[in-house]
Chain A
Amino acid sequence: MAVYEILPTKVPPLGERGVIAWVRHNLLSSPFNIFFTLLGIAVLAMLIPPFVQWALLDADFFGSSKSDCTGDGACWVFIAEKLKMFIYGFYPEGELWRANLTIALAVGTVALLQFTRGQKLKIAAIVLLPIVATFLLSGGVFGLAHVETHQWGGLLLTLVIATVGIVLSFPIGVLLALGRQSRLPIIKTLSVFYIELIRGVPLITVLFMASVVLPLFFPEGIDFDKLVRALIGITLFQAAYIAENIRGGLQAIPTGQYEAADALGLGYWQKMRLVILPQAIKVAIPNLVGSFISLFKDTSLVMIIGLFDLLAMVQLTANDRDWLGLETEGYVFVAFIFWIFTFSMSFFSKRLEKKLDTNNRD
């Protein structure tokens, strides 16, 4: 029999620490891995220098017409000159402040959601934003001139469609997900039917339906706004996907959580709102954000029913006789804008996941 001293802890050997360890484990761990590391470096070396050459070194930034673009590279003058079109579409020049104010309000709301803790304030902001934004953008009240929705366009339109789509489809999606889990056969069947029907149809079809078929059901003389029809179509479409994301989250919740809530005496809606959904949505965040990002990109499909979103603006502006042949610049610029927004969404979601992670908090 023997008793042993408790040993002091030591640092790991040099090759297992810091940058060296990271490179060894992640880039050079096997011959296969070494091959792909080298391949990756080669591909980057082939692609990046020509792009930098075109987009920055040989590019023209200043001027006011196509004739100012004398270099071999990109003609960013085009973007600068057409920037208003890209951002606001045909929104009347004198009313642009309304569009700016709306965007500022939206940004302010996002910031508010990030930095306050008051639940009621957050909900109020989420509910108020679309209402205020609608009045601001479309006008016709409080002495604001009416701006018809066919004048909305560019990034403004993209943001309106994406925001409305996300904010409205979310609660509908939650209800559909709960409906699909319902013990009441009628509710369950209807939810499953709706979700599977919508998921089986491409968004383009839904948009066509909303734009062309829907008006046939309304009595003559009632003309639903084209944008509103597109928004309804997109919202109903997106809700089915949100429902499936949430369902995935719901399935991750152990039955013990339901039982504990039942045993405490919580009613169905209390149980869902206070115990089950907060956990289910947390689990579903990566998928939800994935859906939101696809929705954001899919907004460009409204082009086919005659709405001019950010992407459509490239075609429109590049057809300008003074600026022919500049699609490449337009598409690169639009791709960059799309990337900024989708990347921000991913970033935001990662932050949110971290903030909500109560599993290993010290």
Chain B
Amino acid sequence: MIELSGVNKWYGDFHVLKDINLNVGRGEIVVVAGPSGSGKSTLIRCINRLEEYQEGVIKVKGVEVNADVKNLREIRSNVAMVFQHFNLFPHLSILDNLTLAPEWVYNKPKKEAIETAMHFLNRVNIAEQADKYPNQLSGGQQQRVAIARALCKSPDIMLFDEPTSALDPEMIGEVLDVMISLAEEGKTMVTVTHEMGFARKVADRVIFMDEGQIIEENDPETFFNHPESDRLKLFLEQILDH
């Protein structure tokens, strides 16, 4: 589904991504972990071209991610993204947030768009809030709406960029529950997160990044219980010991 080969990216002189090679198969759940500034968010933002890369090739379902508008349209219709800060549109009601893409990007009739939207709002247990505005909801509710909004595109691939990092602790669970149920359904997911419990539970593969490189890549069992590199050992000690 997603192939990255030899991807390099710079911000000015700063080398953010170094020689990234990664393949994600259909239905695979990949979790990307690492200290802040390690380039993990940048990495997944390159997949739907919110960031450009300078060297190497990224392909999504065989289509190359580049400046070509037609490619970009196809990729963005296959890939949906959930952000750390939800990024719901505050001037639109919850329902309008969800119907925006189906109506304008996929030209669906309004009625059908609303049906889809309500279906996914039910899916994330928040249908009763459809007529409210984003700022009237709690962080956890907003993030669940954001997930529903992403699902309304019926994407093949879901990208999660630290979906729980901006949430109050008591709201993390409700968002992770939704993500776990998506994973169990077999969605292809690439998730940047610090929630190691989530990684252990659903990930097929966990990737550890540091200083713009992939340092270690393994199944969760080996990743957490038998880390090889010293940097991963240190990282795991820091986040798991408390």
Contacts of B100 in A (CB 8 A): 264, 266, 274-275
Contacts of B90 in A (CB 8 A): 279, 358-359
* Bitwise interface map of A from 251 to 270 toward B, beta carbon under 8 Å scored 1, else 0: 00010110111111110001
- Of the 9-residue stretches B80-88, B121-129, B220-228, which lies at the interface with chain A? B80-88
Asked whether B171 is an interface residue with its Cβ less than 8 Å from the other chain, the reply is no
Asked if residues A362 and B136 are in contact (CB atoms below 8 Å), the reply is: yes
Chain A residue at minimum C-beta to C-beta distance from B103: A274
Asked whether B104 is an interface residue with its Cβ less than 8 Å from the other chain, the reply is yes
Contacts of B105 in A (CB 8 A): 264-266, 270
Chain B residue at minimum C-beta to C-beta distance from A256: B87
Chain B residue at minimum C-beta to C-beta distance from A362: B136
Those of A261-310 within 8 Å (CB) of chain B: 261-266, 270, 274-275, 278-279, 282
Asked whether B198 is an interface residue with its Cβ less than 8 Å from the other chain, the reply is no
Asked if residues A263 and B91 are in contact (CB atoms below 8 Å), the reply is: no
Asked whether A361 is an interface residue with its Cβ less than 8 Å from the other chain, the reply is yes
Chain A residue at minimum C-beta to C-beta distance from B49: A262
In the docked arrangement, what's the CA distance between A170 and B40, Å?
Answer: 43
Asked whether A167 is an interface residue with its Cβ less than 8 Å from the other chain, the reply is no
Q: B87 touches which one: A260, A278, A279 (CB < 8 A)?
A: A260
* Bitwise interface map of B from 79 to 110 toward A, beta carbon under 8 Å scored 1, else 0: 11101010111110000000011001100000
Asked whether B21 is an interface residue with its Cβ less than 8 Å from the other chain, the reply is no
Asked if residues B83 and A260 are in contact (CB atoms below 8 Å), the reply is: yes
A262-B85 contact given A282-B91, A358-B133, A359-B135, CB 8 Å threshold: no
Those of A54-112 within 8 Å (CB) of chain B: none
Asked whether B191 is an interface residue with its Cβ less than 8 Å from the other chain, the reply is no
Asked if residues A266 and B101 are in contact (CB atoms below 8 Å), the reply is: yes
Asked if residues B76 and A263 are in contact (CB atoms below 8 Å), the reply is: yes
* Number of interchain pairs (Cβ within 8 Å): 68
Contacts of A275 in B (CB 8 A): 89, 100
CB of B212 to closest CB in A, whole Å: 21
Chain B residue at minimum C-beta to C-beta distance from A260: B87
Asked whether A214 is an interface residue with its Cβ less than 8 Å from the other chain, the reply is no
Asked whether A116 is an interface residue with its Cβ less than 8 Å from the other chain, the reply is no
* Dominant SS among interface residues on chain A: helix
Contacts of B77 in A (CB 8 A): 265
Asked if residues A358 and B104 are in contact (CB atoms below 8 Å), the reply is: no
Asked if residues A265 and B153 are in contact (CB atoms below 8 Å), the reply is: yes
Of the listed residues B50, B79, B83, B87, the one surrounded by the most CB atoms of chain A closer than 10 A to its CB is B87
In the docked arrangement, what's the CA distance between A256 and B205, Å?
Answer: 28
Asked whether B144 is an interface residue with its Cβ less than 8 Å from the other chain, the reply is no
Asked whether A212 is an interface residue with its Cβ less than 8 Å from the other chain, the reply is no
Contacts of A260 in B (CB 8 A): 81, 83, 87-89
Chain A residue at minimum C-beta to C-beta distance from B149: A264
Asked whether A119 is an interface residue with its Cβ less than 8 Å from the other chain, the reply is no
Pairs across A and B, CB under 8 Å, 16 listed: A259-B83, A260-B88, A261-B89, A263-B80, A264-B105, A264-B149, A264-B153, A265-B73, A265-B101, A265-B105, A266-B100, A278-B91, A279-B89, A358-B90, A358-B135, A359-B135
Which A-B residue pairs are the 10 nearest by beta carbons? A260-B87, A265-B76, A256-B87, A263-B81, A358-B133, A264-B101, A265-B105, A359-B135, A278-B91, A279-B91
